[in-house]
Amino acid sequence: MSLDPKRAIAELKELRELTSDENGAQRVAWTDTWLKAREWFAAKVKSLPIEHHYDAAGNNWITLPGASEKSLLIGGHLDSVPNGGWLDGALNVIAGLEVLRRIATEFAGNPPVTIRLVDWADEEGARFGRSLLGSSAFAGTHSIEADRIRTDRDGVKMEDALRRCDVEIDKFPNAEKEQKNAAAYIELHIEQGPVLERMGLPLGVVLGTKGVERHIITFHGQEAHSGSTPMNARRDALAAAAKLALEIRTIAKKHADAVCTMGSVKTFPGIVTAVVGRCEVTLDQRDLDASVLAQMYLEAQQASQRFAVEENCMVEWSRLWNIEPVPFHSQLLDLCEQAVRETSGTSHRMPSGPLHDAAEVSRAGIPTVMMFVQSLKGISHNKIEDTTEEHLEMSVVALDRLASKTMDWIQK
C-alpha cells in the first residue's frame, strides 16, 4: 500500500458527509458529532499495526512502534468551529493517516523510528473559548483552575462537558507523559489566509506562530450636547480613537508581516445627539519577531497619548491577553523547505497569524515545523473554506516527504 493522496481526499469527503449539515462542519469538541468523527477515525486505523489510546486530556494517539523509541509526531485536530469548513484540522489528521499507512507498509510494520499520529482535543476552543486545550495539557501550559469553570452558551460547565467524554480536568497533567521520546513534531494545515494564493504557490513553509498583544484602550472625553457644543469646545473620545484606528495601519506597515487590528469600537452614550464622552476600542497586534511586537505596542501607546492630547481627552490601556512568538526549529524548516520544493518546484517561508497546536508542542521544547497549503480566497472557519484537489494531493505528498526527511534527521 503506497501513498494514496486521492484516498485522503475521499476520506475527507466521507468525514464531511458524516459530520456536516447545510451550514458546514459541526465537529465542535466535546459534542456528539465530534465523538462520531473520532469513532469514524478509530475504525479507519483499526486494521493498522498500531496502538491506540486517548490521553488524560482527551488527545487521541495512534502509535506505530519502530525500532527506536524516538518518535516522530504528526498532528492535527478533528474538531471544528460551528458551521466550519471541511479541511481546517481534518486535513492534517487524514493526511497524517495516509503517511502513517505508507510508512507501516514500506517498513512492514517496523519503521526505524516510532511514528505517532495525534488528533488533539479541542484545538478550536469554539464551545468554551479556550483554544489549544489538549495540546496545552500535553505541553504542561494548561490553566486548569481558570478553565474548569468556563461555561458554554447553555451554561454547561467545561468540567462537566469533559467528564461526559471521560476526561477529568484534574488529570490533565498526566497528558505530559506523552512527551516521552518525542523527537520531532510536524503538522500540515490549510493557510486560512490569502498569501499563497496571491503568490500563485500551492505550499508554504511556516516559520512559526506570531506573538500576540491584545488590549482594550479607553479614551475618556466629555459627553456633551451635539447641538450646543461648538466644534472647538469638544472633548470627543471617538475622534481620538478614530485617529488611532488609522495610525495602527501605519505602525503595522513598517514591518513586512506584522498586523494590527482594531476589531471593536464602542461609544458612550452612543446616541445620535451626543458627543462621545467615552470610547472603548480593542487592539490586536501580531508579529513573529518579539522585538517588532514590542515596538508596535510601544508606538501604539505613544500614538494614543498623542491623539488623546490633541482631542483634549485621557487614555488608559488594559491588557486582555498576550502570547510570545513561537519560532519553529531551524533544521526542520530546512527539511520542510526541501519537501515543499521537491513537490511543487518552489517554496516560500511565511509566519502564521493564527495559533496552532504546533505552537504548544514547540513550547514544550520539541523540535517542530508546520507546512501550509493554499486556501482558496483565504477563507476559513466557514462552510465555503476550500482548497483545490490538486493542491490537497500535493500537500499529502509533501507531508510524506517531510516525514521521511524528519525520520532520517531523528536517526542522525
Q: Report the interface residues with Zn ion, using CB under 5 A.
A: 88-89
Minimal distance, residue 77 CB to Zn ion, in Å: 6
Q: Count of CB atoms within 10 A of residue 199's CB?
A: 13
Q: Which has the closest alpha carbon to 326: 196, 406, 206, 409?
A: 206
Minimal distance, residue 149 CB to Zn ion, in Å: 26
First to last CA, the chain: 27
Nearer to Zn ion, 88 or 299 (CB): 88
Minimal distance, residue 88 CB to Zn ion, in Å: 4
Nearer to Zn ion, 88 or 236 (CB): 88
All residues at 6 or more sequence positions from 89 whose CB lies less than 8 Å from its CB, including other chains:
76, 77, 78, 79, 80, 123, 124, 189
315 DSSP β-pair partners: 219
Nearer to Zn ion, 221 or 351 (CB): 351
Cell of 274: 451626543
CB 36 within 8 A of CB 18: yes
Nearer to Zn ion, 89 or 325 (CB): 89
Minimal distance, residue 251 CB to Zn ion, in Å: 28
Strands 326-327 and 203-209, bridge-based pairing: antiparallel
Minimal distance, residue 189 CB to Zn ion, in Å: 6
Please give the residue whose beta carbon sits closest to Zn ion in the complex.
Answer: 89
Nearer to Zn ion, 76 or 325 (CB): 76
Nearer to Zn ion, 178 or 385 (CB): 385
Nearer to Zn ion, 71 or 135 (CB): 135
Whole-number Cα distances in Å, 391 to 197, 372, 373, 378, 387: 11, 11, 7, 14, 7
CB 352 within 8 A of CB 210: yes
Minimal distance, residue 396 CB to Zn ion, in Å: 17
CB 38 within 8 A of CB 27: no
Q: What φ, ψ does residue 44 adopt, rounded to 5°?
A: -65, -35
Cell of 87: 479541511
Helix (H, G, I), strand (E, B) or coil at 309: helix
Minimal distance, residue 41 CB to Zn ion, in Å: 16
Strands 60-64 and 113-119, bridge-based pairing: antiparallel
The residue with cell 508581516 is 257
Minimal distance, residue 372 CB to Zn ion, in Å: 11
Nearer to Zn ion, 66 or 208 (CB): 208
